[in-house]
Amino acid sequence: MTRIDESRNGLQPGERLEPRGRRKRRGEPASPLAGLDPLLVLTVRRIVAAHRSHRGPLLPVLHALQDELGHVPPDATPILAHELNLSRAEVHGVITFYTDFRREPAPPSTVRICRAEACQAVGAEQLVACAAEHGHALGKPGPVAVSQVFCLGNCALGPSVEVDGRVLGRVTPQRLAALLAERTAS
């Protein structure tokens, strides 16, 4: 949670977050937000508030949350559900349906190799093999996360690889190996 900027939430370090709404009566179940990191609660509330006017705001909210925190922490699910008046199952269902949303912090570097047909036709599989040869099999955890993607829209200049958000065209195995080595070393 160190990535949350406390000052942006108007909270002093160490200050306690009072639960919103009326006081709990005896015998009532605990607040759905009880025990959650108050900074996370405030962050989610702020992002949701910024998207209140949108219709069906869950996806833009999740994108904004991931942009800020680097991932969507599992604890965000009950807060999102509470704030958006959805069930936790609905929120969980959406987060897990879309491959873009990460539930763990992102590795320092991400490399996505396009494995769709147009890139297959010009050697995408050699790139996948090359990555594996250099210790970066698809999906293997590490400082450089190599994964597959189906089409980066660069089909005339394949094989394409997205390195830390930037699309590269006509990538040779040698170049990929160099890119991976660079990122593994740093």
Partner 1 sequence: MTVYVPRDSAARSVGADLVADALAAHGVPVVRNGSRGMLWLEPFVEVTTAAGRVGYGPVSPADVPGLLEAGLLDGGAHPLRVGVVDDVPWLARQNRVTFARVGITDPLSPEDYLAHGGLAGLRRALTLTPADVVAEVTESGLRGRGGAGFPAGVKWKTVLGCPGPLKFVCANADEGDSGTFADRMMLEGDPFALIEGMTIAAHAVGATEGYVYVRSEYPDAVATLRTAIDLARARGWLGLDVLGSGLTFDLHVRVGAGAYICGEETSMLESLEGKRGMVRAKPPIPAVQGLFGKPTVVNNVLTLATVPAILASGAAAYRRLGFERSRGTQVFQLGGNTARGGIVETAFGTTLGELVHDYGGGTRSGRPVRCVQVGGPLGAYVPTSQFGLPMDYESFAAAGAMLGHGGVVVFDDTVDMAAQARFAFEFCAEESCGKCTPCRVGAVRGVEVIDRIRAGQEREKNLVLLEDLCVLMTDGSLCAMGGLTPMPVRSALTHFAADFEPPAPGPVEPVPADAAKAGSRAEPAADDLATVASGVEPQALPEVSS
The reply to whether 32 sits near partner 1 by the rule CB under 8 A is no
The reply to whether 65 sits near partner 1 by the rule CB under 8 A is no
CA distance 125 to 131: 10
Indicate which single residue of 16, 23, 26, 55 sits in contact with partner 1 (rule: CB under 8 A).
55
**Most distant CA pair in the chain, distance:** 68
Q: Smaller CB distance to partner 1: residue 105 or 135?
A: 135
Q: From the CB of 35, what's the least distance to partner 1, in Å?
A: 27
CA distance 35 to 114: 42
Q: What are phi and psi of 167, to 5 degrees?
A: -85, 135
Q: Smaller CB distance to partner 1: residue 11 or 151?
A: 151
Indicate which single residue of 62, 65, 81, 179 sits in contact with partner 1 (rule: CB under 8 A).
62
Q: Smaller CB distance to partner 1: residue 32 or 153?
A: 153
Residues of this chain, 156-185, that bind partner 1 according to CB under 8 A = 156-158, 160, 162, 165-170
Neighbours of 176 (CB within 10 A): 24
Residue 153 DSSP class:
S
Residue where the block lists tokens 């009326």: 22
CA distance 63 to 57: 10
Q: From the CB of 126, what's the least distance to partner 1, in Å?
A: 8
Residues of this chain, 97-156, that bind partner 1 according to CB under 8 A = 97-101, 115-122, 124-126, 128-129, 132-133, 135, 137-138, 140, 149-156
Strand ranges for 27-165 from DSSP E:
109-114, 144-149, 161-163
Is residue 76 classed as helix, strand or coil in its secondary structure? Answer: helix
Q: Which residues bind partner 1 (CB under 8 A)?
A: 54-60, 62-63, 90, 93-94, 97-101, 115-122, 124-126, 128-129, 132-133, 135, 137-138, 140, 149-158, 160, 162, 165-170
